[in-house]
Structure 1
Amino acid sequence: MTTSSTAAATTSASTAAPAAYDPSRTAVLLVDPYNDFLSEGGKIWPLLSDMAAEVGLLDNLRGVVATGRRAGMPLVFVPHRRWEEGDYENWDHPNPTQRLIAQRHTFARGTWGGEFHPDFQPAPGDVVVKEHWGQSGFPNTDLDFQLKQHGVTHVILAGLLANTCIESTGRFAMELGYHVTLVRDATAAFKPEMMHAAHELNGPTFAHAIVTTAELGALVG
């Protein structure tokens, strides 16, 4: 087997989905489903709209959520910090994304852009974890605690952005011992190259499975 063939086989094996997901031990993590990301008129939507249309983002997000709900999996909302006046001021080293949020007032608290998209609203029994300041949904939040309290060992990630919050949350989940599934067409990024990096280069180094929305539906049943 050639080096390239070996690498391809390793990548394929490392991202193979399990034969089935146990709904009592699996949660769908819906990351940052804000109007600013997902709705016409949102501050970030113009940067995402082309990729969102290419992958069928909104329909696939609806599909992942419906699959999880139908199976009885916990649905866990993993929201980014909603910008408030004074955020990031006088910080020693805000990251580039935080500096942009401070300029754009992205996901501003109390505004339409900082509300969840109307198709992705928490229902009774859903979990909404504390807001994350950076890119991973785990540090400085109760995400790990909530997952453990619900007996979750497997997480399915969908939402925004593929190469930032989804990747960072997935990596952290792997480090904490969770089985991680990425849904490649239920996320988006600003450029095709970012999507490629997220799912073809970086994802296979930490995710246990990388699937499409249709594949996930078939596995969950």
Structure 2
Amino acid sequence: SKPQPVQQAAWQSRRQSMPETIYPRGRTALLLVDPYNDFLSERGKVFPRIKPIVDEVGLLDNLRRLDGAVRAAGIQVVIVPHRRWEPGDYEDWDHPNPSQRLIMQRHSFARGEWGGEWHPDFAPKPGDLIAGEHWGQSGFAGTNLDFLLKQKGITHVIVVGLLANTCIESTARFAMELGYHVTLVRDATAAFSHEMMHAAHELNGPTYAHSIQTTAEVIAALPAAPRSKEPVQ
């Protein structure tokens, strides 16, 4: 079921307590988490489970708009990929988590297969950074993501992609623990249910995120596109 009016009012109150966010060029990065075909394409293994939320929030169009806007604003884009499944993954682990068990059963994001390839609209472009693959749910745990961001002088991260209540939440919460300013984008992610989206943005998100915005709000807050350099005479 969808959040009730009283719950929406509580979220609005929390949101109003968040200060206005400014995204400084050169210090801000868009973290695009798990942009695989299995998540974002109609034939993907996971897509049918998130399609209702994807369609409701306009996820694909919002990701396209945000991707274009941050690039135009000179914001660094960082791809934060999940481990691509390979034969033998997780099978001899003492305690794989429930998500890893599902990946083991379904072979989600399989390396060398279409489902484990980037969605064509969100494949890395020149100048993008690609972090190491994360095995769990945080894009920081066991990867070079923090190192890459620090080498670029990044202090602010906008976290989008899949899934709202797993990899997005874990990556964003970990970013906060590492000292980054964290923005969640309510309609640039998805989950398996309204309850999961509600938990991610109305219950858990306000306890750690510095800003929870819509795609339109983030785009409006981005710095103006940098002026092209004057031609050398």
| TM-score (ref. length: structure 2) | 0.89
Q: Does 1:217 align with 2:219?
A: yes
- 1:11 aligns with 14
Output one character per residue of 1:29-60: Cα deviation in whole Å (capped at 9) or x when no partner: 00000000000110000001010000000000
Percent identity reads 68
> Tell me, what secondary structure is at the counterpart of 1:23?
coil
C-alpha distance 120-193 of structure 1, shift in aligned 2 (>3 A):
same
Cα offset, 1:97, TM superposition = 0.3
Q: Distance in 2 between matches of 1:82 and 1:203?
A: 27
1:149 to 148, 151, 154: 151
Cα offset, 1:8, TM superposition = 6.1
> Deviating runs (4+, > 3 A) in structure 1?
7-10, 13-17
1:138-177 superposed matches below 5 A: 138-177=140-179
- 1:66 aligns with 68
1:114 to 109, 113, 116: 116
Q: Distance in 1 between matches of 2:160 and 2:12?
A: 25
Q: Distance in 2 between matches of 1:9 and 1:159?
A: 23
Which amino acid letter does the alignment assign opposite residue 12 of structure 1? Answer: R
- 1:47 aligns with 49
Q: Distance in 2 between matches of 1:102 and 1:17?
A: 42
| TM-score (ref. length: structure 1) | 0.94
Q: Distance in 2 between matches of 1:67 and 1:130?
A: 25
Q: Does 1:184 align with 2:186?
A: yes
C-alpha distance 197-16 of structure 1, shift in aligned 2 (>3 A):
farther
Check conservation: 2:187, 2:214, Cα contact below 8 A.
yes
Q: Distance in 2 between matches of 1:41 and 1:218?
A: 33
Cα offset, 1:10, TM superposition = 6.4
Check conservation: 1:14, 1:208, Cα contact below 8 A.
no
Flag structure 2 segments of 5+ consecutive residues without an equivalent.
1-6, 225-233
